[in-house]
């Protein structure tokens, strides 16, 4: 680990300013400290953003939820109102890491976390994500990698919150210079598909401030993941879905798969297929097929296909359960 300066920012604008010269933002530190210790990152400055006013608040009113970027995953997972209104989100938070991790990790950090690919995280492998020429996973140990492989880096998006928030059509409010931008989750991740070195679309010095989630009456949401272990393990595949449910009929449907592509995987055709239809085992199966239509498994990960099929079906069925 290299030496670095440590400063605490009091406003979003000053946080951006302080990070301008090769700085990184520090909130829970769950992702960043690992990168520092493995010498994957060597920032000159760590800008503590935990003191930014209002960023640890949860607000739920008028059919809208605002989550500050510094809300911990433990707080999110245990929030009684959110568990009732946005169960897909709170379940996603509850599946992250261990209790210790969830008490440190934040909403912003979970969304902005870097690749967990074991080649990327390895101190002695210079892969394409780190500016090298090879994606080692492409012909290597790709068990945990992407199913959708028409991209340059097979490292999948593993943020549980990104999957749930994409299903909930949330907006991510990002400080960019002196102004803020409102991004969809798809926009937040788009660069990870197009640019092998990118983990998401945030540029250096851009900071997630809060999340805004529409929570209209009648909205249902669900999140399921399948890991090798029962607890404290990354998802092999995760799935989240949200829709307005009237009887068994879904409207405004969004289904999202995680850990199968560098971005939260969304397929408009699957959402459109489900729109306005009563959900049955059969329509859920058809939606799963549409979700996976373009999958091109790497060497070791075709097993994710049946898991993804099962999770899409089960997650959708949970919406009407």
Partner 1 sequence: MPWPKETKYLGKSTPRAEGPAKVSGRAKFTTDVAPAGVLFGAILRSTWAAARIKSIDLTAAQAAPGIKAALLVHNGEYLTRYYGDELAALAGTSRQAVLDALRLIKVDAEPLPFVVKELDAIKPDAAQVFAGRPNQGNNPARDSGRPDDAFAAAAAVVEGSFATQIELHQSMEPHAYAVSFEGDEMTAWASTQGVFAVRDGYARNLGLPQNKVRVICEHMGGGFGAKSSLSIEGELCAKLAQAAGAPVKLVLTRFEESLATGNRPSSFQKLKLAADKDGKLTAFQMDGFGTPGYMASAPNGGGSNGVALPMPYLYRVPNSRVKQSAVAINAGVACAMRAPAHPPAAYGMEGILDDLAVKLALDPVAIRLLNDPSEVRRHELEVGAEKFGWKAKYQKPGSSPGPVKVGIGCASAAWMSGGRGTQAEAQISSDGTVEIRVGTQDLGTGSRTVVQVVAAEMLGIDPALVTARVGDTRYPPSGGSGGSATTASVSPAIFDLCEKAVEELKKTSGLDDPRGANWKAACAKIGATPLAVTGRWRDGLSTGGAGGVQFAEVEVDTETGFVKLRKILAVHDCGTVVNRLTCESQINGGVIMGIGYALYEQRVMDRRSGVLLNPNFETYKLPGIGDIPAIELLLLDMPERGVIGIGEPCTVPTAAAIANAVANALGVRVPSLPITPDKVLAALGQVPDNGDRAAQVRDLEGAFARVAGAERPILLTETPA
For binding to partner 1 (CB under 8 A), which residues are involved? 1, 98, 116, 118-119, 122, 124-125, 134, 136, 139-141, 143-144, 226, 228-234, 236, 297, 299-303, 305-307, 309-311
Q: Which is nearer to partner 1, 9 or 279 (CB)?
A: 279
Least distance (Å) from partner 1 to the CB of residue 105? 14
Do residues 261 and 147 make contact, with C-beta atoms less than 8 angstroms apart?
Answer: yes
Least distance (Å) from partner 1 to the CB of residue 65? 29
Rounded to the nearest 10 degrees, what angle do helices 160-167 and 185-194 cross at?
Answer: 130
Q: Which is nearer to partner 1, 171 or 304 (CB)?
A: 304
Q: Which is nearer to partner 1, 135 or 219 (CB)?
A: 135
Least distance (Å) from partner 1 to the CB of residue 185? 24
For residue 136, the 8-state DSSP code is G
Least distance (Å) from partner 1 to the CB of residue 124? 5
C-alpha R_g of the chain: 19
Least distance (Å) from partner 1 to the CB of residue 146? 15
Q: How far is CA 70 from its chain centroid?
A: 15
Least distance (Å) from partner 1 to the CB of residue 70? 24
Q: Which is nearer to partner 1, 276 or 306 (CB)?
A: 306
Rounded to an integer, what distance in angstroms lies between the CA atom of residue 110 and that of residue 295?
A: 25
Q: Which is nearer to partner 1, 144 or 265 (CB)?
A: 144
Which parts of the chain fold into alpha helices (H)? 12-18, 32-37, 73-78, 80-85, 87-94, 99-104, 107-112, 160-167, 185-194, 268-274, 281-291, 304-319
Q: Which is nearer to partner 1, 68 or 140 (CB)?
A: 140
Quick one: CA torsion of 138, 142, 144, 145, rounded to 10 degrees?
A: 20
Rounded to an integer, what distance in angstroms lies between the CA atom of residue 211 and that of residue 173?
A: 6
């Amino acid at each position: 680990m290299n030496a670095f300066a440590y400063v605490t920012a009091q406003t979003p604008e000053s946080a951006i300013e302080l990070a301008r010269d090769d700085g990184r933002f520090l909130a829970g530190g769950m992702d960043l400290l690992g990168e520092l210790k493995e010498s994957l990152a060597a920032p000159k400055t760590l800008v503590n953003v935990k003191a930014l006013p209002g960023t640890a608040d949860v607000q739920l009113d008028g059919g809208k939820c605002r989550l500050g970027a510094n809300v911990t995953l433990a707080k999110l997972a245990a929030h009684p109102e959110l568990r009732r209104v946005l169960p897909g989100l709170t379940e996603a938070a509850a599946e992250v890491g261990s209790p210790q991790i969830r008490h440190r990790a934040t909403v912003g950090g979970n969304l902005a976390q870097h690749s967990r690919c074991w080649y990327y995280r390895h101190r002695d492998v210079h892969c394409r994500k780190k500016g090298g020429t090879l994606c080692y996973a492409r012909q290597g140990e790709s068990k945990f990698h992407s199913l959708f492989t028409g991209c340059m880096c097979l490292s999948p998006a593993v943020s549980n919150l990104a999957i749930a928030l994409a299903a909930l059509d949330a907006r991510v409010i990002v400080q960019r210079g002196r102004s803020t931008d409102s991004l969809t989750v798809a926009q937040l991740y788009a660069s990870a598909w197009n640019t092998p070195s990118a983990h998401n679309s945030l540029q250096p010095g851009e900071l997630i401030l809060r999340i805004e989630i529409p929570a209209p009456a009648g909205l249902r949401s669900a999140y399921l993941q399948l890991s090798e272990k029962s607890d404290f393990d990354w998802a092999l595949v995760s799935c989240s879905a949200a829709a307005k449910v009237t009887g068994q009929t879904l409207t405004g449907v969004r289904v999202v798969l995680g850990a199968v592509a560098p971005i939260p995987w969304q397929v408009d055709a699957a959402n459109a297929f489900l729109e306005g239809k009563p959900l049955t085992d059969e329509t859920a199966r058809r939606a799963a097929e549409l979700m996976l239509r373009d999958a091109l498994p790497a060497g070791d990960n075709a097993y994710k296909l049946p898991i993804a099929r099962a999770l899409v079906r089960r997650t959708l069925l949970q919406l009407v359960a």
